[in-house]
Structure 1
Amino acid sequence: MLGASEMFNSFLRKAQQETQQIPTEEVPLEIYLSNGQKVEVNILTSDQTEDVLEAVASKLDLPDELVGYFSLFLVREGVDGGLTFVRKLQEFELPYVSVTSLRSSEFHIILRKSYWDTAYDTDVMDNRVGLNLLYAQTVSDIDRGWILVNKDQHRQLKSLQEKGSKKEFIRLGQTLKYFGYIKFDPCVTDFPEKGCHVIVSAGNNELNFQVKLPNEQMKEGSFKVTRMRCWRVTSSQVPVGNGSSSPTPGPCSSAKCEVKLELAFEYLMSKDRLQWVTITSPQAIMMSICLQSMVDELMVKKSGGSIKKMLRKRHNGPLHRSESQQAVKSPPLLDSPDPNREQIVKLSTKLSSVSLRGISASNSANDISGNDFHGNYAFEGIGDDDL
């Protein structure tokens, strides 16, 4: 795999430095925790994500075996204190270069857990530092409204806080709606109809939609990652006029254009019906990264592997997915009355990897090619019992 090549990653790291004209030197870098606390580490400008993560873990006294349970995320903080997740920092990135090149105090790097299955919270909570990190994240998510809490639950949580019962606080948090989810900024979707405003959240192996319909009615639904046949991220240049994006694509100069990002996934709506759902959002890449990491976890469990080993392996080096993929056969093609859709499905089954490899440029939402897709090895069909 090209992404696992140290030579290729070294090239990417050097390209980042040269592009921003940043020499290799020792610098301080602030990493934020979920509670707003800052941890300052001394690193080299040429240090990649894993090096910075290790430096933060060392500063916090987080054991080596738990480092892989956490990741660094680039976020933007709004004037109201709200957080927008830009992306999870990748292995080949230089965190110092990534955050300083944005030249804005709104952007910073935050430490957050990097897994989805709450069963693995137990591993982290067995350690004092891990417990404090999870506790801080849970409190923060509740305060931001990412986790839904009613009055009675709020009273219980406050009581546990006053007692200093952090484990019990997290255990109660695990029973609440949207625990462990990442919430994205409001965006637009074409489901259930075109132009619907939606708030998307990722967690529990699904994308959750809170949709505002044109008649002002609110609806909620979830798309399970195991029913996504494949997905893709596309970018396009969209003309900007009078401060708003024009719905009609066309030629434009860089001064009058903005980049539109879309995440589209093909979803198994019923036993023999696949449908494309498109989300238009500046956070489309982050959404795709979330889907990818959910698939990674599911594949490891499906092949009988251990999430602990996967996280440690990710920490000690690139994560190779070939072994777990060989244990699971690609799902059979579904019969579809739409010949165009059937062709799309066939293209997706040709993929040998589910890795995210950047953005596929496309000037049209209908411009479909096999290289655009992220095939999903965790895809499962629907049987009669599911209907």
Structure 2
Amino acid sequence: MHFSIPETEVRSDENGSSYVAYNIHVNGVLHCRVRYSQLLGLHEQIKKEYGNNVVPAFPPKKIFTLTPAEVDQRREQLEKYMQAVRQDPILGSSEMFNSFLRKAQQETQQIPTEEVQLEIYLSNGQKVKVNILTSDQTEDVLEAVASKLDLPDELVGYFSLFLVQERGDGGCTYVRKLQEFELPYVSITSLHSPDYRIVLRKSYWDTAYDSDVMDDRVGLNLLYAQVTVSWFKRYSVWSIKQKVVIMGITVLANNVSPFIRLAQTLKYYGYIKFDPCITDFPEKGCHVIVGAGNNELNFHVKLPSDQMKEGSFKVTRMRCWRVTSSQVPVANGTANPSSSSKCDVKLELAFEYLMSKDRLQWVTITSPQAIMMSICLQSMVDELMVKKSGGSIKKQMQKKRLNGSFQRSDSQQVVKSPPLLDSPDPSREQVVKLSTKLSSVSLRGLSSSNSASDISGNDFHGNYSFEGIGDDDL
């Protein structure tokens, strides 16, 4: 997750006194407004709990009123502080840090704690209404949905809640996976738009886990709801009559397992498809549709020459990746991110890829969903490491229940986040190194300069073509 403080506001408290509020953004969206004193209080709590050696540097107090330049300097320092805390595998996942963000989010949106009904959608458009508190965190809401659906406790960790935005063409954009530091009701309400909804979706990548889910009736139906939607969208050339016949046969047989098994043979089964964006590979300025699944990022690229290409980047061949954000002023705005002018956030995901045995190359994707792509990569790596160590989602859930602290299995809890690297560009953040974590994972095609399933520098000079994707999709 990308934390930033791109702007400040002068606000008034209940006594009429003015103060500077620091707007904390997560993934480019306002999460909460906090005062310096609130962040100082959090810092003191963290320091008391974890010691001075662990806590990053915090901007000092000032005796006199800050000048505008000093306010902007403090804003930058607080931004670096929040990023450092979040990126620390211990501090960033601590309940102290997460509860601070949840409370600040609720206070910022001025939503009192009360019982409400929240709609959670399934992948096929059906919705489940659950009674929750406005102050319930993501885990609480997920467990409430599981309880309403009668999903067994040991399967809760196979699913997560995602914030999605409905598009005019009938599709949807995955905005983000709801995190432990946010309140789902507050998050969806603060958007003030009917286009957004919270969707329950499987959160794993290895299709072998489908067998665990399909052993349970509710799990099977949830997976079926997700599979049918992706199946029908991909094979949109079928007539309505053909689709009805296929669905009718499946329902009458009262056995959806064969349908799911058939869907598993599809090339892009289980992939998350992102909105069209821009990449610099194989050429700068290429339009691309990125898909995440099967431990890879799949590219469908339209070159400047209008030639169509396809290839995949395996996560096991990525040495590291980073997410970079920058403020881009809107029309008639200014380039000063601390001013009151509105700015758009430009997000980039860049990863260093092993193109051949001795050649690494950076590949950059410019997309509003760059952080969602990064989260997908992180969860793929975590899943590989858990599997390599002999663990599984079910074992993690069983362990939590035995310890008397049932919670959903989150990838960031199962495996510590990879260490950070110093970026060659100081403005770049969140560089994730994989070499240490993947030292025990078999690197497929490592000794081969051109793997059949991976993109290399030469692959994009061949005669590749899209399958089932037209120019209108790019």
> What band does the TM-score fall into relative to the shorter chain?
0.7 to 0.9
* Structure 1 residue 250: Cα displacement: 4.8
Shift of residue 375, structure 1, vs aligned partner: 1.7
Selected match of 1:283 from 366, 369, 382 = 369
Residue 82 of structure 1 deviates from its aligned partner by 0.8
2:283 to 193, 207, 223: 193
Give the structure with higher Rg (CA).
2
Partner amino acid for 2:106?
Answer: Q
Give 2:260's match in structure 1, choosing from 170, 173, 176: 170
1:375 aligns with one of 426, 433, 444: 433
Aligned to 1:9: 98
CA RMSD between the two structures: 3.0
> Quick one: distance in 1 between partners of 2:103 and 2:448?
54
The answer to whether the 8 A contact 1:35-1:140 is kept is yes
State the distance in 1 between where 2:192 and 2:419 align. Answer: 30
Helix, strand or coil for the counterpart of 2:258? helix
Q: Deviations over 1:199-218 (max 9, x none)?
A: 00000000000000111111
2:459 paired residue number: none
> Residue 80 of structure 1: CA displacement?
2.3
How far apart are the structure 2 equivalents of 1:163 and 1:221?
Answer: 38
Q: Distance in 2 between matches of 1:22 and 1:275?
A: 47
Q: Distance in 2 between matches of 1:57 and 1:64?
A: 8
Instruction: State the one-letter code of the partner of 2:438.
Output: A
1:136 pairs with 2:225: yes
- 2-structure distance, mates of 1:386, 1:280: 27
What CA distance in whole angstroms lies between the structure 2 residues aligned with 1:299 and 1:138? 26
Q: How many residues align?
A: 346
Secondary structure (helix, strand or coil) at the match of 1:378 reads helix
Structure 2: distance between partners of 1:100 and 1:121:
33
1:272 Cα deviation after fit? 1.1
* 1:284-323 equivalence runs, <5 A: 284-310=370-396, 316=407, 319=410
Residue in 1 that maps onto 2:346: 260
Separation of aligned partners in 2, 1:56 and 1:177 = 31
**CA, structure 1 residues 319+3, in 2 after alignment: closer, same or farther (shift >3 Å)?**
farther
2:347 is matched by which residue type in structure 1? L
Tell me, yes or no, if the aligned pair for 2:158 and 2:393 is still in contact at 8 Å.
no
Q: CA separation of 1:122/1:322 partners in 2, compared to 1, >3 Å: closer, same or farther?
A: closer
Partner of 2:250: 160
Q: What displacement does 1:384 show?
A: 3.0
- Structure 2 residue aligned with 1:22: 111
**Percent pairwise identity:** 72
After superposition, the Cα gap between the structure-2 partners of 1:83 and 1:32, relative to the gap in structure 1 and judged at 3 Å, is same
1:316, CA displacement in angstroms? Answer: 2.0
Paired position in structure 2 for 1:202: 292
8 Å contact kept, 2:353–2:362: yes
Alpha-carbon contact 2:321-2:433 (below 8 Å) kept: yes
Distance 1:262 1:109, change over 3 A: same
Matching residue's letter, 2:220 = L
Determine helix, strand or coil for the equivalent of 1:276.
strand
For the residue of structure 2 that corresponds to 1:373, the secondary structure is: strand
**Are residues 1:229 and 2:322 paired?**
no
Cα deviation 1:92-137 (Å, max 9, x = unaligned): 2110011001010000100000101111101111111111100010
Cα distance between partner residues in 1 of 2:230 and 2:151? 22
Q: Which amino acid aligns with 1:309?
A: K
**How far 1:81 moved relative to its partner?**
1.8
Indicate the larger mover: 316-325 or 219-228.
316-325
Q: 1:310·1:319 contact (CA, 8 Å) conserved in 2?
A: no
Which residue identity lines up with residue 354 of structure 2 in the other structure? L
Q: Aligned pair in 2 of structure 1 residues 30, 313: CA closer, same or farther (>3 Å)?
A: farther
Q: TM-score of the superposition, structure 1-length normalised? A: 0.81
Superposed CA offset, 1:10-31 (max 9, x none): 1111011011111111111000
Contact 1:263 1:280 in 2 (8 A): yes
In structure 2, do the counterparts of structure 1 residues 318 and 35 end up closer, same or farther at CA, with 3 Å as the change threshold?
closer
Alpha-carbon distance between aligned partners in 2 of 1:122 and 1:318, rounded to the nearest angstrom = 18
Deviation larger for 275-284 or 310-319: 310-319
Contact 2:328 2:346 in 1 (8 A): yes
2:355 counterpart residue number: 269
1:125 aligns with 2:183: no
After superposition, what is the alpha-carbon deviation per residue over 1:232-276, rounded to whole angstroms, capped at 9, x for unaligned?
11110113348xx9xxx9546553531101111111111111111
TM-score by length of 2: 0.67
Partner of residue 447, structure 2: 384
Partner of 1:338: none
* Change beyond 3 A, Cα 1:39–1:168: same
